[in-house]
């Protein structure tokens, strides 16, 4: 019986990670120096980790954006910059890039590139370890034996694989300077406009 945490982690892997780069870019454009995008993302994941189930989440990207937005607002409140006014969620959505649904063939080609990109970032050993563990069902010790390395090395390869995949996800879809800034976030001394 899969662990509840597994379900959430798998959902994050499929629905959230691929969007992370994009969300980082938006956060950077939106908040600039006011709050650090990395801190916001970190806090957002912390909130996601509290989820008991994901069945109720209809639109994962929107959910992640809302979570990140709330995290940003909270971090801002905690910060020393009392004179910065927070942006309402609706302001933010104006700026969001709702990319049109692409042609299936184009999406398929993109997905293929994405998978190949992920694979290229993994070491051969890491790939083998995953295949042996997940497809052939070997234990960690059996895997190490089969590959002729220590269990430590097996673990190290997985760790590196994780870090590389995450680094890749963080950078995806980042195109800085896409739209001209329409919304000024920090209005020092002014009231929030409606």
Contact positions with other proteins (CB under 8 A) in 151-190: 151, 154-155, 158-159, 161-163, 165-166, 169
Nearest to 76 by CA among 33, 134, 35: 35
Are 64 and 40 a contacting pair, CB within 8 Å?
no
Per rule CB under 8 A, count of chain residues that contact other proteins: 63
Task: Please provide the size of the chain in residues.
Answer: 194
Question: Shortest Cβ distance from residue 69 to other proteins (Å)?
Answer: 16
Alpha helices (H) along 36-183: 37-48, 60-78, 89-95, 104-121, 124-130, 140-147, 151-171
Cα atoms in the 13 Å half-sphere on the side-chain side of 76: 22
**Can you tell me which of 115, 181, 184, 193 binds other proteins, judged by CB under 8 A?**
115
- The contact set with other proteins (CB under 8 A) reads 2, 5-18, 38-39, 42-50, 54-58, 60, 78-79, 107-108, 111-112, 115, 118-119, 122, 126-127, 129-131, 133-135, 140, 143, 151, 154-155, 158-159, 161-163, 165-166, 169
């Amino acid at each position: 019986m899969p662990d509840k945490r597994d379900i959430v982690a798998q959902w994050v892997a499929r629905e959230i990670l691929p969007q992370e780069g994009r969300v980082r870019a938006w956060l950077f454009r939106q908040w600039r120096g006011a709050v650090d995008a990395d801190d916001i993302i970190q806090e957002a994941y912390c909130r996601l980790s509290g989820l008991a189930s994901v069945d109720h989440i209809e639109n994962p990207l929107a959910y992640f954006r809302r979570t990140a937005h709330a995290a940003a607002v909270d971090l801002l409140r905690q910060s020393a910059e009392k004179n910065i006014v927070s942006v309402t969620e609706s302001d933010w959505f104006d700026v969001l890039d709702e990319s049109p649904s692409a042609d299936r063939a184009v999406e398929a080609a993109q997905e293929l590139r994405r998978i190949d990109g992920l694979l290229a970032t993994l070491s051969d050993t890491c790939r083998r370890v995953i295949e042996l563990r997940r497809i052939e069902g070997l234990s960690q010790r059996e895997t190490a034996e089969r590959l002729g390395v220590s269990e430590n090395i097996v673990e190290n390869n997985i760790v590196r694989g994780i870090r590389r995949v995450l680094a890749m996800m963080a950078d995806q879809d980042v195109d800085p300077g896409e739209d001209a800034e329409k919304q000024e976030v920090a209005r020092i001394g002014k009231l929030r406009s409606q």
